[in-house]
Amino acid sequence: MLVCTLGDILLDVIVRLDAPLAAGDDSTAQTTLAPGGQAANVAAWAADLGAGARIVAVRSGGDVGAIVERELARRGVDVCGPEGERTGVVVSLVEPGGDRTMASDRGAAPTLRPQDLESGWLSCDVLHLSGYALMREPIASAAVQAAAAAREGGARVSADLSSWTHVERYGGTMRPALESVAPDIVFGNEREWQSLGGFDATTRIVKRGARGIAVDGVEHAARPAAVVDTTGAGDALAAGFLVGGTGLALDAAARCVSQVGAMP
């Protein structure tokens, strides 16, 4: 099985706070640098779970881009895409209990164009689209074209809603793109689904955090886990579901929250 993702390759800066932030003052923390980006995370987890994995994204030059791409290759992910100017950075602030808040700079990721795509990149069993790839142009048009090309080869298409704040901010671009893609599987947490409003998908997955997930209205409890960092848990869950269904999705999410960082 080959899972192809389309979206972004970023650098994650994970800041694990020892105590809640003190406004206007100093707080102690542990900081980790790691490869990231929703599409990259899903690809890395798919590879770890035994599938072939590929990501289509802008490959930014410079030291940061080289480091991130090398780390993805080490995890068994085939990286495809044009070169861009700058690798984006996501700062993830992790509270002592494991909850996280992110500040995202997507760098050159949204500049992926339809004409940048090569048909061979999209020969796969499933194409997974990061919701961030549906929110801005020209990458949204590239995602729509990629979905059509993947379907021509018999692939399923999935998408993640990614961020309720972004759904509300970029809904004017995202909803038409999502409707054009018509994904077979859509992942989103409760707030993201609420922000999107009505949307039909063959398989609808609601991510409910510590309460597990609902698949087409059927609830499944989360696996027991000692929560360290929730960064990337939804991406691990998506990869697990695409590779092996609900059970593997819950197993992967539990593994992810038990470690620091979004990738295995």
At 131-160, the pLDDT tens digits run: 999 999 999 999 999 999 999 999 999 999
Give the pTM. 0.91
Range with lowest mean pLDDT among 18-22, 204-208, 251-255: 18-22
Instruction: Write down the pLDDT at residue 63.
Output: 77
Question: Six-digit token pair at 74?
Answer: 């080490």
Model confidence over 15-33: pLDDT tens digits? Answer: 888 888 878 888 899 888 8
Tell me the pLDDT band of 66, cut-offs 50, 70 and 90: confident
Indicate the CATH number for domain 2-257. Answer: 3.40.1190.20
Task: Name the nearest CA neighbour of 47 among 235, 258, 239, 215.
Answer: 239
